Structure 1
Amino acid sequence: MATVPSFNALDSGVRLTHLAALDVKGADAEKFLQGQTSAQVSLADGRFAPLTCFCTPKGRMLANAQLMKIGDAHYRLLLSTSLLETLTAHLKKFAAFYQAELIPLSELPLIGVGENASSFADALDLPLPNAPGTQSANARASVLCYPGDTPRWLFCLESDTAIEVLDDNAGRAAWQLADIRSGLAWLTEAQQDHFLPQMLNWEALGGISFKKGCYTGQEVVARAHFRGQVKKRLVRAELSTTTEPTTGASIVNDAGKAVGEVVTSALRETGEIELLAVMNTKVVEEVTPVYLDDTPLSLLTLPYPIERLDPEQLAMGLAN
């Protein structure tokens, strides 16, 4: 049975154990990341924290993340806990040629906070960022503003910082539901090396720079964009059941043909399931009836248009 979300729990601060951090430090940290990630790394300036992803040479996503700058030659990636070890191992193969150290931080406290975030920020002497994708940091902690109708922030507490927070499943469920409602899907180990970034709407969220130089998988990702070869897209949907589907569960049409798969899901406050799924774009455009375990799946709107949003444009908007 899925956990009923509690947005009130976020006001007290909730441990986000489904997320983890990977720090990249060293004189070549920026140069190293620039050759591996879809982000224009120079845009991560301590205020703007761009979305990014890491791909195979065939353009399939190994992980997606948010890239923060914590200090000089010090970057932090926030990603799914299930991908922390595998992404670290993948990147170490390339980091050996740079003055760059990879530090997986599986125990770093990541705290999700709702409307009470200003109290947390004051206690940590941090300015509270007020636009999605913006951050601030000091020696005690860093904080990142998240998107969505529900005000929320993610705090990273450094090792010598102690704040009392909840280890609460209902609060984590509320955070994950807010991600779903924001159309934001974090890749997990179950679907690694499975999707092009555009299949998770990553370019519509500003997670791909088409203006930077080469990075692993860049050629395939760019070709899919400029030739319009993306035939599957992330959609938001609801399901009239209280049983949360498994990641990768198949979505079928009237004929029983698979037309999509579940990426992430969460129980709604009123009892139904909300989810994000990658589906065939033709099925979505034609509003074809689809089902998950014989239960009709109803499509919902996303809070953003499916069109390219350059991270350079986002950063420029914050600067003005």
Structure 2
Amino acid sequence: MNTWLQFLAVNGARVDEHDSSVHFDSTPPAPELPRIYVAPLTDQGLIALEGDDAASFLHNQITNDVEHLPATEARLAAYCSPKGRMLASFLMWKTEREILLQLPRQIQPPIQKRLQMFVLRAKVKLQDAGDRHALMGIGGTGCSELLAAWFPVLPAQPFAKIDSDNGSLIRLPDAFGAARYQWILPAEAAQSLWPEITRSATPISTEAWRLTEIHSGIPQITQPTQEQFVPQMVNFELIGGVNFKKGCYPGQEIVARSQYLGKLKRRMLLASASAEASAGMEVYSSADPDQPCGMVVNAARNLQGGTDMLVEIKVAAAESGTVHLGSAQGPALSFASLPYALPA
């Protein structure tokens, strides 16, 4: 357990040893998220790439443009197998010295090891940066008031980034009608600022933050869903995670073919159920009950006691009959609109 996790555990957090997520028993149950909330994103890992060839090396490995990534922007990207299936999804950004890739802590070591295999003669060094940085999710209708104490000017658009002496701040897509930000700062600074932050912001669990991610329509590949999806199956090209004009990368031909040859038959939708769900669970259509028609990408308990989820599914199955969790006899899914439009 790193020092940031140890600090949180001493200050009222329960740490899940399985994925390093945290839960705060002191947070009262509520029908809606607090006006200002803060979530330690302890389930997330970081890979740092440093060296003269860091940008060009990474540019040739992932689905988005790294060489032209400005310091004022963060981007989504996918790392694919040669068959075009997503091994990982990243939020990436640059600092003065390095490029940082954010992904689930559980899959960070094998993904870093796989990337390292392809370095060869490139002048680039990969390191685990998860212990020296703290990541905090800040959101709610009043979150700008809190952040103004450290960032007088806030990033205005989703994935815009601002750097200051107090760390980096990335604007994330809104959720539940309120702004969200990710604050990246040294772990020691996070510990010293935590008491001041929590005077105004209510600490929420990692799972509650995942719920906001789900409602923003941003998927994350986790251990159960590795190599299950071509990027378009989870709407990754719609949210800025794929650049079709950049050069080659593993799986690029298949990703491009999926984009340009025919209509996509699978998409990711926002759904809810009265039962518990988890990433990797299959869903079934009443119109074709003998085989799965899709898979849960991400899931989190909602504020009403059920589960909200992002589900990758055959478009035809979502348009006819009912869709059920786990089996054709399982709990029925209800679908809601994503915050962005799907192609007709």
Settle same-fold status: TM greater than 0.5.
yes
Q: Secondary structure at the match of 2:106?
A: helix
Q: 1:307 to 1:21 in 2, by over 3 A?
A: farther
The residue that corresponds to 1:86 in the other structure is: 110
Cα deviation, 1:235-277, whole Å, max 9, x if unaligned, reads 11111x2x42122112112234311111111122122221111
Asked whether the 8 Å contact 1:70–1:138 carries over to 2, the reply is no
Q: 1:277 to 1:102 in 2, by over 3 A?
A: same
Deviation at 1:141, TM superposition (A): 1.4
Corresponding letter in the other structure for 1:233: R
Deviation at 1:120, TM superposition (A): 5.8
The residue that corresponds to 1:299 in the other structure is: 335
Q: Are 1:174 and 2:198 an aligned pair?
A: no
- 2:249 is aligned, of 212, 215, 239, to 215
- 1:200 is aligned, of 234, 238, 242, to 234
- 2:269 is aligned, of 226, 232, 235, to 235
Deviation at 1:54, TM superposition (A): 0.7
Asked whether the 8 Å contact 1:248–1:261 carries over to 2, the reply is yes
> In structure 2, what is the Cα distance between the partners aligned to 1:126 and 1:60?
41
> In structure 2, what is the Cα distance between the partners aligned to 1:61 and 1:229?
20
1:139-150 superposed matches below 5 A: 140-148=166-174, 149-150=177-178
Q: 1:102 to 1:127 in 2, by over 3 A?
A: farther
Q: Secondary structure at the match of 1:291?
A: strand
> Which one is further off, 268-277 or 52-61?
268-277
> In structure 1, what is the Cα distance between the partners aligned to 2:164 and 2:79?
27
Cα deviation, 1:90-116, whole Å, max 9, x if unaligned, reads 110122321111121222211111245
The residue that corresponds to 1:156 in the other structure is: 184
- 1:46 is aligned, of 71, 74, 87, to 71
Asked whether the 8 Å contact 1:135–1:145 carries over to 2, the reply is yes
Q: Comparing both chains, which one has the higher relative contact order based on Cα–Cα distances under 8 Å and sequence gaps of 6 or more? A: 1
Q: Secondary structure at the match of 1:42?
A: coil
- 2:127 is aligned, of 85, 100, 103, to 103
Deviation at 1:222, TM superposition (A): 0.5
Deviation at 1:161, TM superposition (A): 2.1
Gaps of 5+ in 2: 1-22, 24-28
Asked whether the 8 Å contact 1:126–1:142 carries over to 2, the reply is no
- How many pairs does the alignment contain? 301
TM-score, length-scaled by structure 1: 0.86
> In structure 2, what is the Cα distance between the partners aligned to 1:145 and 1:68?
12
Asked whether the 8 Å contact 1:46–1:69 carries over to 2, the reply is yes
Deviation at 1:40, TM superposition (A): 1.1
Q: Secondary structure at the match of 1:219?
A: helix
Corresponding letter in the other structure for 1:106: G
Corresponding letter in the other structure for 1:303: P
Deviation at 1:228, TM superposition (A): 2.8
Deviation at 1:121, TM superposition (A): 4.4
Q: Secondary structure at the match of 1:283?
A: helix
Asked whether the 8 Å contact 1:16–1:111 carries over to 2, the reply is yes
